């Protein structure tokens, strides 16, 4: 049993509504129930209006597993479960570490937003669809939102994504071992960032086997290249998430290398590196505490006489990647800290939902006006509609959040809004409004406002 696993009973068996206490029987009951529900959900076309974000995936999981688990639809965050998993997909023991449970909602929303910016992969030829689907499946898999059932949840999600992009996706065309191997290879990232596409080759090949163009004129229209929206660049949030992933996968390999070096104290130093990586995974600001330690570990590998030559090329590469990732995560953490400090000094920090609500209204109104003036009436109209929602309820989620993200992305392309203070204030306010209302804020909020906020979060 995993310590602190509140999804399981004292014997390590998942808490279930069927009263089953034998793990094998429970596994069979789960399979029987979820596969029928998966088939039904696929035939129905998935979640109507789903945005492939936190709310969407929670609904998929609930529909698949509510016949067996009372916690169906809950993410790891709901019961504060972290966890990690070993794999030998590269021939060596690797540690697959998932996103911090506290960040599951914001990460799923960031992935869904970016997917929306690519128009949910509409307008792509089969090979490109397979390539981008592989990228997103890896992102969702690393977030690993649920204690169990992530694989079937993602299968249902990508069947729906494919259908809405003009493709049939049939995971029955491959054996589960092929999918699992492809997912694990993407998770452990054996190739450096400059060869990132190689980490996704197996996943892309898997998608090429399971997709086929959907028949019919409507599907053909959806696949038309005019529907495509190529992604110009990853969002700042996605870039930060990626840097931390690179630190994790290389950090655990560096930990093993150092811990297995001959010499007194090396085992302890390796373990300390692993603890520092775990601390940084849970809180990126912790990288500042461990940065020198990380750099010294990488340097130790680079200079060790037994780790030179072609046989040690992978160890040397991992050390270099680890050092570079540590520097990148440190830079991002410093920039975030400076930005927070600066906003506090100029009074631009919206620390409560009430403050953020007021700041959002002012900044969004100004931005909507500039967007209209520069020939972006649709983005302005969407933003104006969101202002009305935020005026009623200090929470930003679902379509409202997506409209704000689209407005910001459009605004960032306008020279007139370079270094715009209203744009920065809108980002700051939106960041606060995406979070649940804290207990201290609820005490001062009106009962009606609090109820609406809670209802919004539960959908």
Three-class secondary structure of residue 87 per DSSP: strand
The pLDDT, as a whole number, for residue 440 is: 36
Mean pLDDT, the chain, whole residue set: 88
Helix, strand, coil in percent for the chain, rounding step 5 = 70, 5, 25
Residue 125: both structure tokens together: 């030829």
- Decide the pairing of beta strands 84-87 and 94-97: antiparallel
Average pLDDT over residues 138-164: 98
Q: Interior CA angle at 367 toward 405 and 413, to 5°?
A: 60
Residues 210-267: pLDDT tens digits? 999 999 999 999 999 999 999 888 888 899 999 999 999 999 999 999 999 988 899 9
Q: 23-232, superfamily in CATH?
A: Fido-like domain (1.10.3290.10)
For the residues 111-115, what does the mean pLDDT come to? 95
| Pairwise CA distance, residues 304 & 414, whole Å | 51
Reading the block at residue 454, the tokens are: 């809670």
Task: Give the residue among 35, 33, 44, 69 at the shortest CA–CA distance from 147.
Answer: 69
218-232, 333-347, 406-420: segment of lowest average pLDDT? 333-347
pLDDT of 445 higher than 60 = no
C-alpha angle 68/72/74, rounded to 5°?
155
Is pLDDT of 201 > 90? Answer: yes
Q: What is the reported pTM?
A: 0.75
Calculate mean pLDDT across residues 168-195. Answer: 96
Count of all residues that appear for the chain in the document: 459
Q: How wide is the angle at C-alpha 329 spanned by C-alphas 327 and 332, nearest 5°?
A: 110
Nearby residues of 391 by Cβ (< 8 Å), 6 or more positions away: 357, 361
Give the C-alpha separation, 145 to 152, whole Å. 12
Output 159 or 84, whichever has higher pLDDT: 159
pLDDT for 351: 58
Of residues 426 and 99, more confidence is placed in: 99
C-alpha 75/C-alpha 70 separation (Å) is 12
Q: Which of 12-16, 120-124, 217-221, 342-346 has the lowest mean pLDDT?
A: 342-346
Task: State mean pLDDT over 280-300.
Answer: 93
Backbone torsions φ then ψ of 10, nearest 5 degrees: -65, -15
Scanning the structure block, which residue is given the tokens 């330690």?
293
Q: pLDDT-based confidence at 457, cuts 50/70/90?
A: very low
Q: How confident is the model at residue 447 (pLDDT cuts 50, 70, 90)?
A: very low
Cα–Cα distances (Å) from 284 to 79, 89, 397, in that order, read 22, 27, 24
């Amino acid at each position: 049993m995993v310590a602190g696993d509140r999804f399981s009973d004292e014997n390590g068996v998942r808490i279930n509504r069927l009263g089953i206490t034998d793990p094998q029987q429970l596994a069979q009951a789960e399979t029987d129930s979820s596969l029928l529900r998966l088939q039904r959900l696929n035939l129905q076309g998935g979640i109507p209006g789903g945005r492939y974000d936190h709310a969407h995936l929670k609904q998929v999981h609930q529909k698949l597993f509510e016949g067996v688990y009372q916690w169906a639809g809950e993410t790891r965050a709901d019961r504060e479960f972290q966890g990690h998993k070993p794999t030998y997909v590269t021939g060596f023991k690797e540690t697959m570490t998932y996103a911090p449970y506290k960040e599951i909602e914001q990460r799923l929303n960031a992935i869904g937003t970016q997917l929306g910016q690519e128009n949910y992969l509409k307008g792509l030829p089969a090979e490109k669809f397979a390539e981008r689907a592989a990228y997103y499946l890896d992102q969702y898999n690393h977030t690993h939102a649920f204690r169990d059932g992530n694989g079937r949840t993602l299968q249902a999600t990508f069947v729906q994504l494919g259908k809405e992009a003009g493709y049939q996706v049939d995971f029955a065309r491959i054996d589960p071992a092929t999918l699992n191997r492809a997912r694990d290879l993407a998770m452990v990232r054996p190739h450096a960032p400059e060869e990132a596409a190689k980490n996704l080759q197996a996943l892309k090949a898997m998608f090429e086997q399971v997709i086929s163009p959907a028949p019919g004129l409507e599907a053909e229209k959806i696949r038309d290249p005019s529907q495509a929206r190529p992604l110009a660049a990853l969002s700042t949030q996605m870039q930060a998430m990626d840097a931390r992933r690179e630190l994790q996968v290389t950090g655990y390999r560096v930990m093993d290398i150092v811990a297995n070096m001959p010499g007194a104290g090396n085992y302890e130093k390796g373990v300390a590196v692993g603890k520092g990586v775990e601390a940084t995974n849970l809180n990126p600001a912790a990288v500042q505490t461990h940065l020198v330690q990380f750099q010294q570990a990488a340097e130790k590998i680079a200079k060790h006489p037994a780790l030179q030559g072609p046989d040690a090329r992978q160890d040397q590469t991992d050390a270099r990647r680890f050092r570079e990732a540590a520097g990148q995560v440190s830079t991002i953490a410093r920039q975030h800290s400076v930005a927070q400090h600066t906003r506090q000094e100029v009074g631009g920090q919206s620390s409560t939902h009430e403050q953020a609500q007021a700041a959002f209204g002012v900044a969004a109104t100004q931005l909507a006006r500039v967007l209209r003036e520069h020939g972006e009436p649709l983005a302005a109209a969407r933003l104006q509609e969101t202002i009305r929602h935020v005026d009623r309820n200090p929470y930003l989620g679902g379509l409202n959040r997506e409209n704000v993200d689209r407005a910001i992305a459009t605004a960032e392309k306008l020279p007139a809004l370079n270094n715009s203070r209203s744009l920065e204030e809108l980002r700051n306010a939106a960041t606060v409004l995406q979070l649940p209302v804290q207990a201290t804020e609820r005490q001062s909020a009106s009962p009606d406002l609090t109820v609406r906020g809670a209802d919004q979060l539960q959908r």
